[in-house]
Structure 1
Amino acid sequence: MHHSTPGQVFLLEPGDIHDGHAPTPGGFTYSMLYLDPNWIERELRALFENAPACCQPGFSKVLMHDPALLEAIAQAFSALRESELRIVRQAARDTLLCQLTRHLKWRTLLNPDPRLPVLAQRVRGYLHAHFNEDVGLDDLARMAGTDRFRLTRAFKAAFGLAPHAYLIQLRLAKARHLLARGDLPADIAAALGFADQSHLGRWFRRTYGLTPAHYRRRCSNLPDV
């Protein structure tokens, strides 16, 4: 029997049974994220050259104190639950996968590709040209002729941000320009590829600490319409 406490990660392999009984009379709440075993196996083969014939991760512990893994799970849960941009959802899942497999003995990263710095530049140009489209990491990797894991590492090494974070910052920079000239947040959200005005607002507040409407008023002194 395992007793989890706040801040711990509870790892269950496919087929494991979990009763979910509360460890205290007062009960508890938790978030659970299910990963498709077929997806895990497919992605591990793309990421690691020494993946065994059956590369489902086997967890040495059911309960784990791993802050990085906990953060990756929380980010993936949030991105999927809130229907984030496709590139954000994919990046969150990839980060989670890397954190889940950090301690696997057979894990060996693929050899670096000497073309990657050039490909990172090409992907950056593509993001600038298609900033308002629903771009996915798979799209970028296919365009660059590599896999998305190596592409993400190369892009982050070149520009300090992962592709999804760079795309968000690119959209937000354009949003600031449009807000400053008096455009309405709802129109800007639609033009820049955000799901809606609320989606734009979440990212804008997270990055700049104020709402798009507030930023617009400060820059233009125009009333909200």
Structure 2
Amino acid sequence: MTSHNWIDLAQDADTGIETLRAHFEGHAYDPHWHDSYLVGVTEQGVQQFNCRRARHQSTPGKVFLLEPGDIHDGEAPTADGFTYRMLYLDPQWLTREISTMFDKAPDHGELGFAHTLTTDDALARATTLAFATLHHGELKIVRQTALDGLLERLTTHLHWRTRYGEDPRLPLVAQKAREYLHAHAHEDIGLDQLALATGVDRFRLTRAFKAAFGIAPHAYLVQLRLATARRLLARGEQPATVAMALGFADQSHLGRWFVRAYGLTPALYRKRCSNLPDS
């Protein structure tokens, strides 16, 4: 990060929701994904990002909505950069809370967002209020009231959909490769090994994977490990321990990838989420 970039992150102990406010100039972060639902508002500047095979530009007041697994990046196309605030909503928490507002969920159903970027002033205000109450540790009843307001407005952008076994939108070889990566994420997987598991050569595999997910298999594997690293660090695990457990060469190797994806170091992320001192 340059000296002009900054991140302010916290985690609500009751819900596990992370709140983040940040400013970036130029390149912000590499393609990555989260295990959470992301609801954010651009405060200042132009927030440009690629997601779902489209380029989006979020300007002040617009709300961006990302699902778990949505690969996205971030950059500022203008010199003054961009500032935004965001909520990371745990999927289990969101499903539990939102199910009371919807009719019965379909069998094998999961929540999805209708749009990645939207202009909805009421949702922007509800997101900003929920962020403020959580980030600054307001009284529990105040936080819960603000979250209820957010969820009530969010239902206009959420819908139940059938969870796919095989996703008809994606090539089968890409799906098989993704499943294999998830099952063997901690191993030192080679392209030959992945190609053998999917029944095609390395070149067809890489082309199919990049066409389906926007990044190469090796980059997807790194992001998969980083998503796990976030969960472990938030629980208070030490960066060095996490790096070793997830197959990174060492702590500095984890740190380089973590900063490129999330804009802050593993140690700082751990401190902000767990409130535990470094040992």
Band of TM-score, shorter chain: 0.3 to 0.5
TM, length-normalised to structure 1: 0.48
Bigger Cα Rg: 1
Higher relative contact order (CA 8 A, sep 6+): 2
Flag the structure with higher helix content.
Answer: 1
Flag the structure with higher strand content.
Answer: 2
TM, length-normalised to structure 2: 0.38
